[in-house]
Amino acid sequence: MRRRILLAALPAAAVSLTAAPALAAAPPLTRLTLPAPTGPEQIGTVSLHLVDATRPDPWVPAQRARELMVQIWYPACDARHYPRATWVSPALAAALAPPGSDYTLPVTHAHLGAPAAPGRRPVVLYSPGLGLERTASTAVVEELVSHGYVVVTIDHTHDSSLVEFPGGRTEPRSIPEPTDPANADAVIAEALRTRVADTRFVLDRLLFLVHGRNPDADGARLPHALSEVFDLSRTGMLGHSLGGAAAAEAMYEDRRIRAGANLDGTESGAVLDAGLDRPFLLFGAGTGDDDSWARLWSNLRGPRLHLQLLNAGHLSFTDYQVLFPQAGVPADQLVPNFGTVDPARSVTAQRAYLLAFFDRYLRGRQSRLLTGPSPRYPEIRFVAA
pLDDT bucket at 19, cuts 50 / 70 / 90: very low
- In the three-class reduction of DSSP (H, G, I as helix; E, B as strand; rest coil), residue 9 is classed as helix
CA-to-CA distance for 48 and 319, rounded, in angstroms? 22
Q: Which of 376, 6, 357, 64 minimizes the C-alpha distance to 181?
A: 6
Q: Which helix (H) or strand (E) holds 110?
A: strand 107-112
CATH number of 7-384: 3.40.50.1820
The number of beta carbons lying within 10 Å of the beta carbon of residue 19 is: 18
CA–centroid distance for 335 within its chain: 22
Does position 90 have pLDDT exceeding 80, yes or no? yes
Strands 30-31 and 280-284: unpaired
Burial class for 180, CB neighbours closer than 10 Å (0-12, 13-18, 19+): exposed
pTM of the model: 0.94
CA-to-CA distance for 32 and 322, rounded, in angstroms? 9
Q: What is the phi/psi pair of residue 180, to 5°?
A: -160, 170
Bridge partners of residue 126, in order along the sequence:
153, 238
pLDDT digits (tens, 9 = 90+) for 162-219: 999 999 999 999 999 877 888 889 999 999 999 999 999 999 999 999 999 999 999 9
CA-to-CA distance for 134 and 127, rounded, in angstroms? 7
CA-to-CA distance for 252 and 256, rounded, in angstroms? 10
pLDDT digits (tens, 9 = 90+) for 287-319: 556 899 999 999 999 999 999 999 999 999 999
CA-to-CA distance for 226 and 213, rounded, in angstroms? 11
Q: How far apart are the first and last CA of the chain?
A: 21
